Amino acid sequence: METKRLNKAISETGYCSRRGADKLIEAGEVKVNGQLPELGTKVTAADVISINGKIITKEVENIYLAFNKPVGVTCTTERHIEGNIIDYINYPERIFPIGRLDKPSEGLIFMTNDGDIVNKILRSKNSHQKEYVVTVSRRITDNFIYDMSNGVPILDTVTEKCVVKRINDTTFNIILTQGLNRQIRRMCDYLGYQVNTLQRVRIMNISLDGIKKGEYRSFTEKELSEINELIKDSSKTF
């Protein structure tokens, strides 16, 4: 769990400045989990901070973002990895990605601080559609469309049937409900095609439309309500 200096954590609640927080700490007016801290103490989101007996720990509302990930950004919360998605977005609150989109790919990924919705989305099946636009290295044949649609043997299994449509000679659209590792790239490779570009354009009921590359927007109330309806029968992960 990410740590930060106590004075910074206090200032982020809007209670006072960092300098003011230091004075309160020195005066013995601040406690962390009921104990007097030292200057320089580091805390996490799980720690309870109180000033003169009043808890001032910041309550953060649930955050739901649709982010247009550029190529080269890695979907990891590990900050030591160069190009990680957390540092790239630089959101003021702690968030994490729902699922993954590999480094050479681009497009839509959800970011949130709500672990419950993450578990439900990842465990949901047919309601968790993911739509992609893919360009490949050579002309797409009818056999390629048929094979991609009806199942390809990868990773010791056969991919589930899915919807695949040709857009032009080298570009196709595919809708998946599976989430195998690098699934589309592996499917294409098995059939003798190299993926040149891969963009996710939709997850469930939310599309990439209107979100510029490298930018994000919050879910609308309608979108969030629709997602909750889609995943209402999905059990939690404990």
Residue 118 pLDDT class (50, 70, 90 cuts)? confident
Residue-wise pLDDT tens digits, 39-91: 889 998 888 899 998 888 766 688 999 999 999 999 998 889 999 999 999 99
Distance CA 200, CA 188 (A): 16
Burial of 67-86, coded b for 16+ CB within 10 Å and e otherwise, reads: bbbeeebbbbeeeeeeebbb
- The yes/no answer on whether domain 64-125+205-230 falls in CATH 3.30.70.580 is yes
The pLDDT assigned to 235 comes to: 54
State yes or no: pLDDT of 127 exceeds 90.
no
> pTM of the full predicted structure?
0.75
As a CATH number, domain 130-203 is: 3.30.70.1560
What are the residue ranges of CATH 3.10.290.10 in the chain?
4-55
As a whole-number percent, the residues of the chain with pLDDT over 90 amount to 68
Q: Where in the chain is the domain with CATH 3.30.70.580?
A: 64-125+205-230
Phi then psi for residue 172, to 5 deg, are: -140, 160
Length of the chain: 238
Q: Three-state DSSP class for 211?
A: coil
Active site residues: 102
**In Å, what is the CA distance from 157 to each residue of 67, 185, 187?**
31, 15, 11
For the chain, helix (H) and strand (E) counts, in that order, are 7, 16
pLDDT of residue 120: 84
Residue range(s) of every CATH 3.30.70.1560 domain in the chain: 130-203
Q: What is the pLDDT of residues 148-161, one digit of tens each?
A: 999 999 999 999 99
| Domain 4-55 CATH class label | alpha beta
Q: Which of 154, 218, 209 is nearest to 187 (CA)?
A: 154
